[in-house]
């Protein structure tokens, strides 16, 4: 046994876990990209609010106008998941689910306001203990410092698009340039210069883009200037077929989207040169109309175009950078022994129902993109429609590394799907969902629900309103069928399924509805 073997063996023996020891011994032959290695490298590419509707591999109305050729390359050389869902469609909670493989009520991050308990078990910690070099670069958004990583260089909170500060191993470092490019630079630098090349790696490369307020990179400020972005059919949804929650949300393009979102006010923090380019790109002369001249539907259409162009410009930078990463893997000889997974923390509304943002269990925010490439393991060009969740990612990564999942993780490894193209016979047939952040920005009511391949039942429990959808007949979820007697049997079935899942996942009753505190200390009714 050479020195390195001995060191790893002693470390693994100390853990006392057979599976981990096995993982370690396998890692010894991994080297820095050998094709025969058993423990592959894991590169997890994750962006923020990237809707599947904005990835051309998924098809849809934006496929032709805004192709994502590099993300599509991952799909062409691997597998695209058409039914990947989240457990709680909002940023920080999704990230905590990924880390822990547990639902929000057990990992503690129910809302964006909660700090992650970084002492708890996470999949990076388990990979690290089994001999992986682990790193996280980019968006983190869980407040507490990342743990379980040999290297962490993350944005504070949301981070800035331009000239961002990063926190490198606990120390603030200011960068000049565009966040998406810098995140890639830092990730590739770690892969090239910082990691221990005798070990397999797991890198979480996490982009801030395309999060609100959608500030494009300097290379793409005028991209799509001459294009009209297709509108969704329900851009002018009046919510007639749904209950209180859809009527009372505050996330519409019409009412909620601000002048800052539409770049009528330039962002702060730009250098004079950046500001000059920015102003040139957003001058009203480049637009067909001026906002001040518009009202009603025409104004919504103008805002939608402005929003979508910036959102898609941000994505073009993400896609360019994923191209850089894939090229790097090719050139460094790492592509064959690295599984590359692309996903986003949740989905997003791109004008569907007249909205931007996420939160609801309706399809566009409930569903997330998921695409994976693993040469010699995943058959290229495969499409899968089994029900998978972000809850499964931790266990899948562990399984890929040959490590047994701890029993308190609540998902399932979808490695068998990657290898065989379809789920085993005992795979889940329904999903549990729970959104908690209310009262809060965007005013989306708390709700939980259950979804199967075809049906969806949602309970806005604070107001005791139910909604039910048949996605085959009504894929855009425009009219709840909860009161339709034709579906009474199905509704009853899903209610029973909901109770079953709540028991399975040890769901605790939600706390009483918090009253929103007034912003000033002035008593109500007095001036
Ligand atoms: Ca997000």
Lowest average pLDDT, out of 5-14, 167-176, 356-365, goes to 5-14
CATH number of the structural domain spanning residue 206: 3.40.720.10
pLDDT digits (tens, 9 = 90+) for 334-347: 999 999 999 999 99
* Per-residue tokens: 358: 């996420």
Tally of domains in the chain: 2
- Section 492-505 average pLDDT: 98
Domain check: are 70 and 131 in the same one?
yes
The Å distance, Cα 211 to ligand 1 centre, comes to 7
- Rounded Cα distance between 460 and 446, Å, is 6
The pLDDT score that the predictor gives to residue 292 is 57
Domain check: are 445 and 411 in the same one?
no
Q: Residue 32 above 70 pLDDT?
A: no
- Rounded Cα distance between 477 and 492, Å, is 19
Residue 282 in any domain: the answer is no
The Å distance, Cα 48 to ligand 1 centre, comes to 4
What confidence tier does 310 reach under pLDDT thresholds 50, 70, 90? very high
The Å distance, Cα 153 to ligand 1 centre, comes to 19
Residue 103 in any domain: the answer is yes
pLDDT digits (tens, 9 = 90+) for 113-168: 999 999 999 999 999 999 999 999 999 999 999 999 999 999 999 999 999 999 99
The Å distance, Cα 49 to ligand 1 centre, comes to 4
Domain check: are 401 and 489 in the same one?
no
The Å distance, Cα 371 to ligand 1 centre, comes to 17
- Rounded Cα distance between 412 and 394, Å, is 9
pLDDT above 90 covers a percentage of the chain that reads 86
**409 and 422 Cβ atoms separated by less than 8 Å:** no
The Å distance, Cα 435 to ligand 1 centre, comes to 14
Distances (CA, A) of 130 to 26, 43, 165, 389: 10, 17, 32, 25
The Å distance, Cα 54 to ligand 1 centre, comes to 15
- Section 104-112 average pLDDT: 98
- 456: domain range? 435-504
User: Residue 454: how many CB atoms within 10 A of its CB?
Assistant: 11
What confidence tier does 62 reach under pLDDT thresholds 50, 70, 90? very high
The Å distance, Cα 486 to ligand 1 centre, comes to 37
**245 and 325 Cβ atoms separated by less than 8 Å:** no
Distance of CA 203 to the CA centre of its chain: 16
What confidence tier does 287 reach under pLDDT thresholds 50, 70, 90? low
The Å distance, Cα 41 to ligand 1 centre, comes to 26
DSSP 174-200: E--SBHHHHHHHHHHHIIIIIS-TTS-
- Rounded Cα distance between 378 and 389, Å, is 19
User: Residue 181: how many CB atoms within 10 A of its CB?
Assistant: 17
Residue 183 in any domain: the answer is yes
The Å distance, Cα 345 to ligand 1 centre, comes to 5
**356 and 253 Cβ atoms separated by less than 8 Å:** yes
Residue 119 in any domain: the answer is yes
Identify whether 461 is preceded by a cis peptide bond (ω within 30 of 0).
no
Domain check: are 100 and 133 in the same one?
yes
**269 and 163 Cβ atoms separated by less than 8 Å:** yes
Distance of CA 330 to the CA centre of its chain: 25
The pLDDT score that the predictor gives to residue 515 is 78
The span from the first CA to the last CA of the chain, in angstroms, equals 79
CB within 5 A of ion ligand 1: which residues?
A: 48-49, 91, 345
Residue 4 in any domain: the answer is no
Q: Residue 12 above 50 pLDDT?
A: no
Identify whether 99 is preceded by a cis peptide bond (ω within 30 of 0).
no
Domain check: are 494 and 378 in the same one?
no
The Å distance, Cα 65 to ligand 1 centre, comes to 24
CATH number of the structural domain spanning residue 444: 3.30.1120
The Å distance, Cα 521 to ligand 1 centre, comes to 32
Q: Residue 525 above 70 pLDDT?
A: no
Q: Which of 229, 494, 474 is nearest to 362 (CA)?
A: 474
The pLDDT score that the predictor gives to residue 34 is 40
Domain check: are 355 and 484 in the same one?
no
The Å distance, Cα 315 to ligand 1 centre, comes to 14
The Å distance, Cα 156 to ligand 1 centre, comes to 15
Q: Residue 523 above 60 pLDDT?
A: no
- Section 40-47 average pLDDT: 98
* Per-residue tokens: 337: 């022994």
Q: Which of 468, 508, 250, 474 is nearest to 359 (CA)?
A: 250
The Å distance, Cα 346 to ligand 1 centre, comes to 6
The Å distance, Cα 47 to ligand 1 centre, comes to 8
User: Residue 352: how many CB atoms within 10 A of its CB?
Assistant: 23
**132 and 142 Cβ atoms separated by less than 8 Å:** no
Residue 28 in any domain: the answer is no
Domain check: are 59 and 116 in the same one?
yes
Say what the pTM is. Answer: 0.91
pLDDT digits (tens, 9 = 90+) for 219-228: 999 999 999 9
The Å distance, Cα 99 to ligand 1 centre, comes to 15
- Section 8-13 average pLDDT: 37
The pLDDT score that the predictor gives to residue 286 is 53
Place of tokens 């329904």: 430
**156 and 167 Cβ atoms separated by less than 8 Å:** yes
| Torsional sign, CA 356, 358, 363, 364 | positive
The Å distance, Cα 91 to ligand 1 centre, comes to 4
Domain check: are 208 and 310 in the same one?
yes
| Torsional sign, CA 174, 176, 178, 180 | negative
The Å distance, Cα 340 to ligand 1 centre, comes to 20
Position with higher pLDDT, 19 vs 496: 496
**349 and 251 Cβ atoms separated by less than 8 Å:** yes
Domain check: are 203 and 320 in the same one?
yes
The Å distance, Cα 117 to ligand 1 centre, comes to 19
Lowest average pLDDT, out of 12-26, 258-272, 423-437, 453-467, goes to 12-26
Angle between the N-to-C axes of helices 3-15 and 18-28, in degrees from 0 to 180, rounded to the nearest 10? 160
**360 and 89 Cβ atoms separated by less than 8 Å:** yes
Position with higher pLDDT, 99 vs 259: 99
Place of tokens 């399975």: 504
Q: Residue 487 above 70 pLDDT?
A: yes
Position with higher pLDDT, 313 vs 515: 313
Domain check: are 471 and 345 in the same one?
no
The pLDDT score that the predictor gives to residue 285 is 56
- Mean pLDDT (the chain, rounded): 91
Distance of CA 65 to the CA centre of its chain: 23
**Where on the phi/psi map is residue 479: left (φ > 0), alpha (ψ -120 to 50), or beta?**
beta
Of 384, 418, 452, which residue is a domain's last? Answer: 418
Residue 208 in any domain: the answer is yes
**348 and 366 Cβ atoms separated by less than 8 Å:** no
pLDDT digits (tens, 9 = 90+) for 202-253: 999 999 999 999 999 999 999 999 999 999 999 999 999 999 999 999 999 9
The pLDDT score that the predictor gives to residue 291 is 54
**318 and 312 Cβ atoms separated by less than 8 Å:** no
Q: Residue 9 above 90 pLDDT?
A: no
Residue 241 in any domain: the answer is no
Domain check: are 188 and 333 in the same one?
yes
pLDDT digits (tens, 9 = 90+) for 437-458: 999 999 999 999 999 999 999 9
Q: Residue 26 above 80 pLDDT?
A: no
Q: Which of 494, 498, 452 is nearest to 472 (CA)?
A: 452
User: Residue 522: how many CB atoms within 10 A of its CB?
Assistant: 9
- Rounded Cα distance between 282 and 269, Å, is 17
Q: Residue 433 above 90 pLDDT?
A: yes
The Å distance, Cα 105 to ligand 1 centre, comes to 19
Position with higher pLDDT, 527 vs 417: 417
The Å distance, Cα 399 to ligand 1 centre, comes to 26
Distances (CA, A) of 353 to 198, 241, 305, 470, 513: 51, 12, 15, 17, 26
The pLDDT score that the predictor gives to residue 293 is 72
Q: Residue 6 above 60 pLDDT?
A: no
Residues 6 or more apart whose Cβ sits within 8 Å of residue 335: 326, 329, 375
Domain check: are 326 and 362 in the same one?
yes
What confidence tier does 514 reach under pLDDT thresholds 50, 70, 90? confident
The Å distance, Cα 313 to ligand 1 centre, comes to 17
DSSP code, position 170? T
DSSP code, position 335? G
Q: Which of 477, 469, 464, 431 is nearest to 450 (CA)?
A: 431
């Amino acid at each position: 046994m050479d020195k390195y073997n001995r060191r790893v063996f002693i470390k693994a023996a100390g853990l006392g876990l057979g599976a981990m020891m096995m993982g370690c011994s396998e890692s010894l032959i991994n080297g820095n990209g050998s094709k025969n290695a058993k423990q592959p490298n894991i590169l997890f590419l994750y962006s923020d609010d990237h809707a599947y509707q904005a990835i051309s591999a998924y098809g849809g109305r934006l496929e032709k106008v805004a192709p994502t050729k590099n993300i599509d390359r991952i799909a062409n050389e691997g597998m695209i998941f058409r039914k990947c869902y989240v457990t709680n469609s909002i940023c920080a909670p999704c990230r905590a689910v990924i880390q822990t493989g547990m639902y929000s009520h057990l990992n503690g991050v129910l809302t964006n306001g909660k700090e992650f308990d970084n002492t708890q078990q996470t999949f990076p910690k388990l990979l690290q203990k089994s001999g992986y070099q682990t790193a996280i670069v980019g968006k983190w958004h869980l407040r507490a410092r990342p743990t379980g990583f040999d290297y962490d260089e993350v944005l504070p909170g949301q981070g800035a698009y331009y000239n961002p500060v990063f926190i490198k191993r606990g120390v603030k470092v200011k960068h000049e340039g565009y966040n998406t490019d810098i995140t890639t630079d830092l990730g590739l630098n770690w892969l090239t210069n910082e990691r221990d090349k005798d070990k397999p790696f797991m890198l979480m490369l996490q982009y801030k883009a395309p999060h609100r307020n959608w500030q494009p990179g300097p290379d793409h400020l005028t991209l799509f200037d001459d294009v009209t972005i297709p509108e969704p059919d329900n851009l002018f949804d009046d919510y007639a077929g749904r209950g209180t929650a859809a009527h009372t949300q505050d996330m519409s393009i019409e009412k909620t989207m601000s002048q800052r979102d539409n770049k009528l006010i330039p962002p702060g923090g730009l250098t004079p040169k950046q500001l000059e380019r920015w102003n040139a790109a957003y001058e009203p002369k480049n637009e067909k109309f001026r906002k001040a001249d518009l009202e009603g539907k025409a104004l919504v259409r103008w805002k939608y175009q402005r929003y979508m162009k910036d959102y898609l410009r941000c994505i073009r930078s993400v896609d360019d950078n994923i191209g850089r990463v894939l090229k790097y893997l090719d050139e460094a000889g790492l592509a064959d022994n690295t599984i590359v997974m692309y996903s986003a923390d949740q989905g997003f509304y791109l004008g569907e129902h007249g909205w931007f943002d996420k939160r609801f269990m309706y399809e566009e925010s409930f569903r997330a993109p998921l695409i994976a490439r693993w040469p010699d393991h995943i058959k290229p060009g495969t499409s899968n429609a089994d029900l998978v969740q972000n809850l499964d990612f931790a266990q899948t990564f562990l399984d890929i590394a040959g490590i047994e999942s701890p029993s308190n993780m609540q998902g399932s490894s979808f490695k068998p799907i990657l290898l065989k193209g379809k789920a085993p016979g005992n795979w889940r047939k329904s999903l549990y969902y729970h959104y908690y952040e209310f009262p809060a920005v965007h005013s989306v009511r708390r709700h939980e629900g259950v979804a199967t391949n075809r049906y969806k039942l949602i309970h806005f429990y604070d107001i005791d309103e139910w909604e039910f959808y048949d996605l085959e007949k009504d894929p855009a979820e425009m009219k709840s069928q909860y009161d339709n007697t034709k579906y009474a049997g199905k509704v009853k079935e899903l209610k029973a399924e909901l109770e079953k899942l709540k028991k399975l996942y040890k769901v605790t009753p939600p706390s009483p509805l918090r009253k929103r505190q007034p912003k000033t200390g002035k008593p109500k009714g007095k001036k």
